[in-house]
Structure 1
Amino acid sequence: MIDIVTIGETMVLFYPFEDRPLKYTSLFSKSIAGAESNVAIGLSRLGKKTRWIGRLGEDPFGDIIISMLTSENIDLSKVMRDESNFTSVFFKDSNRYGDPEVFYYRKGSASSKWEPKHVQSDWFEDSKILHMSGITPALGINTLAFTRECMEVAKSLGLTVSFDPNIRYKLWTEENARDALLSLVPLCDIFLPGIEEAKFLLGDKPVEQLAKEFINLGLQTVAIKLGKDGAFGMSENGETYTVRGEKVSNIVDTVGAGDAFATGFLSIVADDPTNFSLKEALTLGNKLGSIVIREKGDWETLPSLELLEDTPIKSR
């Protein structure tokens, strides 16, 4: 049994080896990053069986991604390799005073060529949860329809569908982003927006009102990330819970915090998707989010189950 299937774009990441701006460095370190593979790595480290499905070029960058995800014990049996298109790459600039600036090279990539016809039912067999993000539908001409097909097939097979909007404003216009994402929300069971994303989709309203409106779209659960203030959750039966933010004395890099939250939240859901504790899911999601922002890296600092058990919670 696969606990969770994630589908999305993973890229090779290059960043300055030295702590200096991109334009002044000649040495780079390499890693990988992608919202869905970050979640797969995090859940695998927490003892869950995970499958990542992506579309990679038949190139060395695709090989790097395969190698690194294999080392994290992730099932890659459904990954597609594309001989005609390349694997995406991106660069992170060094920034000592806040989150790094990011430069993406992904237009025309293998990931942008997903189409609904590529979706196979055996991707989801013997699985509990599908997790996707709002990055995939923004990548290409047919990737919105592809995302919709994935969610519909997974639901028809009885999976719980989780969706993080993960809005990338550089990939599409605000109008297109809002229309596309709102069309996908009714297809998921669990929705994981940040507070600014929730307001972007539904307007500037109190968090509880936003949650109610999302639930009314057909969701079972919505968890709204509030940054340093924690998270707020609501279920379709009206249950609500607020978890307070944790104290973090030295915030280094907030990139990946949302994926870490999804990791913690979904690790609780995976134990019993039809009857999980909203309180426990929010608490663990919040805890993992606070861990990864203390160091650089999208997924490298995601903890193992043993390390997580040794990390105390310090609420504000």
Structure 2
Amino acid sequence: MSKIDVFTLGETMVLFQPEKMLPLEYVRQFPKSIGGAESNVAIGLTRLGHSVGWFSKLGDDPFGRYIYKSIRGEGVDVSSCLFTDKAQTGLIFKEQLSAEDLNVYYYRKNSAASLMEAAELDESYISQAKILHITGITPALSESCYQTVMKAIQIAKRNKMTIVFDPNLRLKLWAAEQAKSVFNEIASYSDVILPGLDEGQFMTGMTEVEDIADTLMGMAEGDKTIIIKLGHNGAYLRTRDESSYIEGFPVQHVVDPVGAGDGFAAGIISGILRKEPLSLAVRRANAIGAMVVSVNGDVEGLPTLQAIERFMDPRGTARDVKR
């Protein structure tokens, strides 16, 4: 197993996204790709020059093997992944009727990934990493997945890893009351929390950005970094020592909004690994989100470090970044 900077875990599904904007019942061809919040972040980070380990349980079927090979082909270490013949790999279908009208259909109930178990985590492997990245999707898949996430958090705490939590609220997967309880539990252990505005409101009951950040800051002892995603308006950064709104990047034409938050998370984690000022990391994360929404697919728009620097400074005067 290779040494890694970041460890993440979660479900990736085979994604079928038509090239034409039509109701699904009229679509005859479905190009195949992959989609999953945690693997999106993993791929985003490898393109930015970092080493990432991704754990999941895949169906011992053609779709599971396709996901495994695809993520491995992006440079992510998948050596800890497991296959099972007890369940099938999950599927996603996207229906896009316009740039603003996007429907996503999941076929993931009782999927292979929902069978992940805490005992399957390898602490000696995970503890190599500096950062644990988790989302609120994985604990929603099953009780055993919830226990797996909590075990990963325990491992991270024991090994003094930084825990980055992106809520990624999916109310189709579980009841709102349970989701809120689990999100706030995970947030209390996390060092960096990356909610969207609606997720922050859901977790705290507050409506204003600053109040949400203050509430999340007070959920547990210790220093926390709160970064609230505000879409085209950028993001709000709050730490013990600073608070600021950081402007977003204009997008002329939104093609596919899915995956923008995952690109944002990759930008933040990359900045932490490079020990950059958080304001710079947030600015780059905003730029990555803008790039991702301009391209179809979950991972296709995730940029390399060179591409994001050109996007941020098209005149070619961007400073060198740490590599």
1:278 correspondence with 2:288: no
Q: Kindly state the Cα deviation for residue 270 of structure 1 after the two structures are TM-superposed.
A: 1.2
Does the Cα contact within 8 Å between 1:99 and 1:255 map onto a contact in 2? no
| Paired position in structure 2 for 1:288 | 288
Opposite residue 232 of structure 1, the aligned amino acid is Y
Fraction of identical pairs, as percent: 39
User: Are residues 97 and 76 of structure 1, via their aligned partners in 2, closer, same or farther at CA, if it must alter by over 3 Å?
Assistant: closer
TM-score, length of structure 1 as denominator length: 0.94
Q: Over residues 262-308 of structure 1, what are the superposed CA-to-partner deviations in whole Å (9 max), with x where a residue is unaligned?
A: 01111101123xxx411111111111011111121111011112211
Q: Distance in 2 between matches of 1:139 and 1:313?
A: 41
User: Are residues 17 and 294 of structure 1, via their aligned partners in 2, closer, same or farther at CA, if it must alter by over 3 Å?
Assistant: closer
User: Superposition pairs for residues 168-187 of structure 1, below 5 Å?
Assistant: 168-187=170-189
Does the Cα contact within 8 Å between 1:4 and 1:270 map onto a contact in 2? no
Opposite residue 174 of structure 1, the aligned amino acid is A
| Paired position in structure 2 for 1:244 | 247
Does the Cα contact within 8 Å between 1:43 and 1:267 map onto a contact in 2? yes
| Paired position in structure 2 for 1:258 | 261
| Paired position in structure 2 for 1:298 | 298
Q: Distance in 2 between matches of 1:80 and 1:73?
A: 18
Does the Cα contact within 8 Å between 1:192 and 1:223 map onto a contact in 2? yes
| Paired position in structure 1 for 2:92 | 90
Does the Cα contact within 8 Å between 2:5 and 2:52 map onto a contact in 1? yes
Q: Distance in 2 between matches of 1:145 and 1:54?
A: 14
Q: Distance in 2 between matches of 1:245 and 1:97?
A: 19
Moved more, 47-56 or 95-104: 95-104
- Runs of 4+ aligned structure 1 residues displaced above 6 Å come to none
Q: Distance in 2 between matches of 1:228 and 1:18?
A: 26
Q: Distance in 2 between matches of 1:114 and 1:41?
A: 21
User: Are residues 221 and 179 of structure 1, via their aligned partners in 2, closer, same or farther at CA, if it must alter by over 3 Å?
Assistant: same
| Paired position in structure 1 for 2:137 | 135
Q: Distance in 2 between matches of 1:262 and 1:241?
A: 18
| Paired position in structure 2 for 1:55 | 57
Q: Distance in 2 between matches of 1:36 and 1:77?
A: 16
Opposite residue 290 of structure 1, the aligned amino acid is A
User: Are residues 179 and 125 of structure 1, via their aligned partners in 2, closer, same or farther at CA, if it must alter by over 3 Å?
Assistant: closer
User: Superposition pairs for residues 1-316 of structure 1, below 5 Å?
Assistant: 1-218=3-220, 220-235=224-239, 237-272=240-275, 276-312=276-312
Unaligned runs of 5+ in 1: none
Q: Kindly state the Cα deviation for residue 99 of structure 1 after the two structures are TM-superposed.
A: 4.3
Query: Helix, strand or coil: the match of 1:41?
Result: helix
**Cα RMSD between the aligned structures?**
1.5
Does the Cα contact within 8 Å between 2:248 and 2:283 map onto a contact in 1? no
Q: Distance in 2 between matches of 1:122 and 1:61?
A: 29
